[in-house]
């Protein structure tokens, strides 16, 4: 059944060179890079703050997998990490992942950054419709308190994580695991106050890592009596004042991240698990006997969702063989982290295990890397749109590497510069000069191999 809506005129709110939709890691990379290329940039964000999953799901220890490896953060991510730390410090008493952000300070820092770059940010701005003219976007429609309003740009970048703009423009997509289309679980993170930091760290121990390991063993032995199917219990920062800034536990499985009925069910299901894990930790560990729930993340967070059909679909085979692409726009340490969409945890944990089934977690090994081609950011069928972040064109297992926050920021940078070159050259993003794009990205701090060095 469907209702018919009468056509109506949509007021034009603003115009710009480059419109970025979604203010998460990829959107920040795109907006800042396009602005640094001299573009007039508008950044639309449906929430009231920037940072995407870092700030909305408390995912503060983004680059934990680079610990004890030769790799360092690059480009805008490295700059934000350094400047945010210099400006606000970071009260992390754990030696584990010292570089984790404090996501509340990050919110403050990102507000300053976008203003410094001259980017116009509009919060509370959900985009779910576009006006097409042939195969080009004529404008996007923002749902506001004053009704729908249009924004027009010369180039558009979709960094919504769910590829909402590409979807609205008619770009094809895949979602979830090949075959059953199941996505990784959605998670509602939490923060706990009142932990006994001194005891958790006494004699050089890392009490939270110990608790995480004990939890997994207890879960597998059937001793926790918890309803949530998640077996891992990763923690974030532990402050001197007893705040555990991030508990990544409460997961709901089998949800479609784009379906409001599933989202509503998932939010409530996860919040019951938030209370369960809080109570379990409080009654089980002496160091945590005084904890309280300090906050519950404002929204369920997803690791994967729609993945666009682009000019090139990045595959796990490309990544495993470190295939070189002439249009490479980012090089990243080989790493995958896929929470089994069906909560099946008994695979061997590698990309080779059980036909990519089960939980896949591959550590960074030696200096192995993979490349992201620009063509994976270029959607099929729409002329003036680029896509960056976790929803680029990739297969499901490949996405479990592509989704890394700092890499999303790098693909965002690729899209930001690509869109700027398209504006300057009055061409479509797919036709920009790749050598110039790569040169610009190098100057923005990305480590792109030169043709000779490839």
User: What is the smallest separation between the CB atom of 403 and ligand FAD, expressed in angstroms?
Assistant: 3
Helix (H, G, I), strand (E, B) or coil at 135: coil
Q: Which two tokens stand for residue 70?
A: 């030769």
Q: How far is residue 431's CA from residue 30's CA, in Å, rounded to a whole number?
A: 18
Which of the residues 228 through 287 are near ligand FAD (CB under 6 A)? Answer: 248
DSSP string, 82-109: HHHHHHH-----SSTTTT---HHHHHHH
Nearer to ligand FAD, 47 or 99 (CB): 47
Which of the residues 385 through 444 are near ligand FAD (CB under 6 A)? Answer: 389-390, 403-405, 408
Q: At what angle do helices 25-36 and 405-425 cross, to 10 degrees?
A: 30
Size of the site for ligand FAD (CB under 6 A): 39
Q: Contact with ligand FAD (CB under 6 A): which of 75, 266, 301, 373?
A: 301
Which of the residues 87 through 146 are near ligand FAD (CB under 6 A)? Answer: 125-128
Nearer to ligand FAD, 161 or 416 (CB): 161
Contact pattern for ligand FAD over residues 17 through 46, marking x by CB under 6 A: ----xxxxxxx----------------xxx
Nearer to ligand FAD, 270 or 434 (CB): 270
Q: Which two tokens stand for residue 40?
A: 């007039």
Q: Pick the stretch among 96-104, 157-165, 352-360, 439-447 that binds ligand FAD (CB under 6 A).
A: 157-165
245 phi and psi angles, rounded to 5 deg: -80, -10
User: What is the smallest separation between the CB atom of 6 and ligand FAD, expressed in angstroms?
Assistant: 24
Q: Which two tokens stand for residue 357?
A: 């089934």
Nearer to ligand FAD, 64 or 325 (CB): 64
User: What is the smallest separation between the CB atom of 198 and ligand FAD, expressed in angstroms?
Assistant: 27
Residue whose C-alpha is closest to residue 128's, from 155, 154, 167, 157: 167
Q: Contact with ligand FAD (CB under 6 A): which of 47, 94, 306, 334?
A: 47
Helices (H), 117-259: 164-168, 197-201, 207-220
User: What is the smallest separation between the CB atom of 45 and ligand FAD, expressed in angstroms?
Assistant: 5
* Contacts by residues 228-234 (CB-CB < 8 Å, ≥ 24 positions apart): 228/273, 228/276, 228/277, 229/185, 229/253, 229/343, 230/185, 230/273, 230/339, 230/343, 231/345, 233/277
Contact pattern for ligand FAD over residues 321 through 360, marking x by CB under 6 A: ----------------------------------------
Angle at 402 between CA 401 and CA 404, to 5 degrees: 75
When asked if residue 214 is in the footprint of ligand FAD (CB under 6 A), the reply is: no
Q: Pick the stretch among 33-41, 54-62, 80-88, 224-232 that binds ligand FAD (CB under 6 A).
A: 54-62
Q: Pick the stretch among 35-43, 51-59, 96-104, 213-221 that binds ligand FAD (CB under 6 A).
A: 51-59
When asked if residue 177 is in the footprint of ligand FAD (CB under 6 A), the reply is: no
Count the neighbouring beta carbons within 10 Å of the beta carbon of residue 317: 12
Q: How far is residue 408's CA from residue 29's CA, in Å, rounded to a whole number?
A: 8
Contact pattern for ligand FAD over residues 189 through 208, marking x by CB under 6 A: x-------------------
Contact status, residue 278 vs residue 233, Cβ threshold 8 Å: no
Q: Is 92 left (phi over 0), alpha (psi -120 to 50) or beta?
A: beta
User: Contact positions toward ligand FAD, by CB under 6 A?
Assistant: 21-27, 44-47, 52-53, 57, 59, 61-62, 64, 125-128, 159-162, 164, 187, 189, 248, 301-303, 389-390, 403-405, 408
């Amino acid at each position: 059944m469907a209702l018919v809506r009468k056509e109506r005129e949509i007021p034009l709110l603003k115009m710009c060179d480059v419109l970025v939709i979604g203010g998460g890691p990829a959107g920040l990379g795109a907006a800042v890079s396009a602005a640094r290329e001299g573009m007039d940039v508008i950044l639309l964000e449906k929430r009231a703050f920037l940072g995407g999953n870092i700030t909305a799901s408390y995912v503060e220890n983004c680059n934990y997998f680079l610990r004890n490896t030769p790799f360092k953060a690059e480009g805008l991510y490295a700059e934000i990490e350094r400047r945010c730390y210099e400006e606000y410090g970071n009260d992390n008493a754990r030696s584990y992942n010292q570089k984790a952000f404090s996501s509340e300070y990050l919110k403050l820092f990102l507000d300053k950054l976008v203003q410094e770059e001259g980017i116009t940010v509009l919060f509370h701005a959900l985009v779910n419709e576009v006006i097409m003219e042939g195969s080009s976007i004529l404008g996007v429609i923002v749902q506001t308190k004053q009704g729908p309003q249009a924004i027009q740009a010369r180039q558009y970048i979709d960094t919504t994580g769910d590829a909402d703009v590409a979807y609205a423009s008619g770009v094809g997509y895949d979602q979830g695991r090949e075959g059953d289309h199941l996505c990784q679980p959605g998670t509602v993170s939490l923060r706990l106050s009142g932990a006994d930091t001194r005891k958790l760290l006494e004699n050089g121990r890392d009490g939270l890592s110990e608790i995480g390991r004990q939890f997994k063993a207890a879960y597998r032995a059937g001793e926790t009596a918890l309803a949530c199917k998640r077996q891992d219990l990763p923690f974030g920062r532990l402050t001197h004042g007893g705040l555990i800034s991030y508990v990544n536990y409460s997961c709901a499985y089998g949800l479609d991240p784009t379906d409001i009925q599933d989202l509503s069910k998932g939010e409530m299901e996860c919040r019951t698990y938030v209370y369960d894990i809080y109570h379990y930790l409080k009654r089980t560990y002496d160091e945590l006997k005084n904890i309280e729930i300090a906050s519950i993340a404002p929204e369920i967070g997803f690791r994967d969702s729609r993945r666009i059909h682009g000019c090139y679909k990045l595959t796990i085979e490309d990544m495993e063989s470190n295939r070189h692409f002439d249009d490479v726009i980012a090089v990243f340490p080989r790493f995958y982290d896929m929470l089994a969409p069906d909560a099946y945890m008994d695979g061997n944990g590698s990309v080779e295990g059980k036909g990519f089934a089960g939980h896949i977690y591959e550590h960074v090994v030696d200096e192995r890397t993979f490349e992201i081609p620009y063509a994976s950011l270029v959607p099929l069928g729409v002329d003036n749109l680029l896509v960056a972040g976790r929803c680029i064109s990739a297969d499901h297992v490949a996405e479990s590497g592509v989704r890394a926050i700092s890499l999303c920021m790098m693909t965002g940078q690729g899209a930001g510069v690509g869109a700027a070159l398209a504006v300057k050259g009055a061409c479509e993003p797919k036709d920009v000069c790749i050598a110039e794009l790569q040169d610009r990205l190098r100057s923005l701090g990305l480590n792109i191999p030169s043709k000779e060095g490839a």
